[in-house]
């Protein structure tokens, strides 16, 4: 049965323990841990203890990608991926989310698909590559990812759909979901106000239903197709500041949105 979890980035700048606490308070089925410079995010003992304390299983691990975690697990993106898979395996998580390599990481880009396949087979792990977005500088659009921001071009078995990233790329998430078919096996649940190319470079991660992406349509389509992956809330609650009551309200709104549009899955 599909589980609906919460990504730890949904409660930033709150810390790791708060993420588990708030996920439990909001009623999620589990949690996705983004590996950051916080050592607790890559300490299996610490994560196991928090999981047991709050009854929140770790459903998935997100390989380190944020600017403040650029040196976590070293500099080699393939080593970062391997260590993320090892952490997920130690925790009993079934999925690792990873971004496609950058174009200037030529060796890693050349070995990326082979590495994903080898690690997936070795650990029995779903490694789901996430859609990203092009960047516009001086009115000229650049795609910093190899072979591109759309991981559908990669020969991999599993993909992660992020609705906010779809908005930044000027694409409808429904089009990406249709294009990827059964390879869509993991979801970062959020929304984006922009759906047109050339919009502001703003990775909004809105509460679903507050933007312009066809989030409900995509979730209903997944339900109809028998989707068996995880749906992970990945919203931006920084505007809540220290008001955790408001933060939990946004998280519950996100969870209810997911449940109301995936009734076939429950």
Bigger pLDDT: 135 vs 162: 162
Instruction: State pLDDT tens for residues 211-252.
Output: 999 999 999 999 999 999 999 999 999 999 999 999 999 999
Instruction: State pLDDT tens for residues 7-34.
Output: 999 999 999 999 999 999 999 999 999 9
Please determine, for residue 172, whether its predicted confidence score (pLDDT) is greater than 80.
yes
Residues 6 or more apart whose CB falls under 8 angstroms from that of 251 comprise 6, 10, 11, 22, 23, 26, 28, 233, 235, 237
Alpha helices in the chain (DSSP H): 16-26, 44-54, 77-91, 106-123, 163-168, 173-180, 215-225, 244-260
- Coil, helix or strand for 147? coil
Q: What percentage of the chain has pLDDT greater than the value 70?
A: 94
Q: What percentage of the chain has pLDDT greater than the value 90?
A: 86
What mean pLDDT, rounded, does the chain reach? 93
What's the angle, vertex CA 99, arms to CA 222 and CA 82, rounded to 5?
110
Give me the pLDDT at residue 149, please: 96
> 135-137 and 126-130: which strand pairing?
unpaired
- For residue 170, give the nearest of 150, 146, 185 by alpha carbon: 150
Give me the pLDDT at residue 176, please: 98
- Peptide bond preceding 198 in cis form (omega within 30 of 0): no
Bigger pLDDT: 263 vs 210: 210
Please determine, for residue 1, whether its predicted confidence score (pLDDT) is greater than 80.
no
Q: Work out the average pLDDT over 178-192.
A: 98
Q: How confident is the model at residue 154 (pLDDT cuts 50, 70, 90)?
A: very high
Please determine, for residue 193, whether its predicted confidence score (pLDDT) is greater than 70.
yes
Q: How confident is the model at residue 80 (pLDDT cuts 50, 70, 90)?
A: very high
Q: How confident is the model at residue 264 (pLDDT cuts 50, 70, 90)?
A: very low
Cα(150)–Cα(130) distance, integer angstroms: 8
Please determine, for residue 67, whether its predicted confidence score (pLDDT) is greater than 70.
no
């Amino acid at each position: 049965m599909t589980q609906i979890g919460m990504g730890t980035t949904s409660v930033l700048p709150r810390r790791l323990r708060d993420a588990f606490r708030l996920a439990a308070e909001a009623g999620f089925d589990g949690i996705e841990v983004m590996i950051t410079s916080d050592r607790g995010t890559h300490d299996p003992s610490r994560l196991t203890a928090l999981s047991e304390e709050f009854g929140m299983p770790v459903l998935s691990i997100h390989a380190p990608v944020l600017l403040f975690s650029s040196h976590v697990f070293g500099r080699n993106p393939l080593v970062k991926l391997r260590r993320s898979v090892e952490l997920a395996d130690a925790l009993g998580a079934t999925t690792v989310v990873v971004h496609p390599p950058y174009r200037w990481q030529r060796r890693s880009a050349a070995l990326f698909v082979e590495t994903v396949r080898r690690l997936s087979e070795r650990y029995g792990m779903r490694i789901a590559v996430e859609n990203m977005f092009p960047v516009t500088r001086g009115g000229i659009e650049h795609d910093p990812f190899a072979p591109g921001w759309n991981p559908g071009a990669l020969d991999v078995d599993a993909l992660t759909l992020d609705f906010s990233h779809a908005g930044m790329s000027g694409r409808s998430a429904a089009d990406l979901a249709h294009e990827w078919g059964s390879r869509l096996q993991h979801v970062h649940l959020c929304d984006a106000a922009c759906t047109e190319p050339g919009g502001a470079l703003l990775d909004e991660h809105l509460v679903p239903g507050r933007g312009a992406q066809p989030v409900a349509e995509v979730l209903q389509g997944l339900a109809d197709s028998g989707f068996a992956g995880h749906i992970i809330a990945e919203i931006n609650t920084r505007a809540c500041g220290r008001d955790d009551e408001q933060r939990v309200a946004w998280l519950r709104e996100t969870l209810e949105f997911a449940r109301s549009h995936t009734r076939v899955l429950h």
